[in-house]
Structure 1
């Protein structure tokens, strides 16, 4: 998939390392930290036959997962607790980390690299999956004895 993606000449993917991209230009992002983000990514990957759209993961720290969605699509949707929306608007600017396709990109990796220049994660599938995964996790953690 990396060779195919390079041939697409996607200009927002850096040649090496990683760079921050301003949300709202090429895409917005939905960030979910830790195991919950990884569960959401796994479910999306399974539902889409392995091509859910571009997903970036941190391998360290909060281990956040960034789901790259269509620019301007995240603002008017209710999201469950545990989701951070990265978008831009009046008096608000967010930046999204984007790794190169190969080489030293630590602490970021492509969970699923883009398969075409315009491909993004489907917002409806992402929202439904996030609701299901985070809803389960929230209910479990709220009912667990401390």
Structure 2
């Protein structure tokens, strides 16, 4: 974790971010994402940002296939979320960016040790989860394979 701190990341332990998650099944830090969208999309109205968050939530929750869901997530992460906006008699598309690719320091980088994650079958504690603007983008398992008691699944 010290290495992430040296790189300028905020660091935390899983229990420290529980309030940001709401429950052990939620992996996205929604408040951090909302704050980042304001920072990353200056001049975009809160109404448009709220629409983008709703569209993002809907896209991830409605997709049952994990691979398609991950592809959709990656697409929104890279390309942003297109939101249609009526401008008088015209409709234009506003792209809401999830990350600032031009100024990486403007993003919220967080590395968290031992995040407790539950799903319908399992409970997991990944060693490190890296969040970018509240979105989990990397998971590190720091296991020693010399220990025969260690397994990944």
Tell me which interval the TM-score lies in, with the shorter structure as reference length. Answer: under 0.3
The structure whose residues are more often helix, as a share, is: 2
TM-score when scaled to structure 2?
A: 0.25
The structure whose RCO (Cα within 8 Å, separation 6+) is larger is: 1
The structure that has the greater radius of gyration is: 2
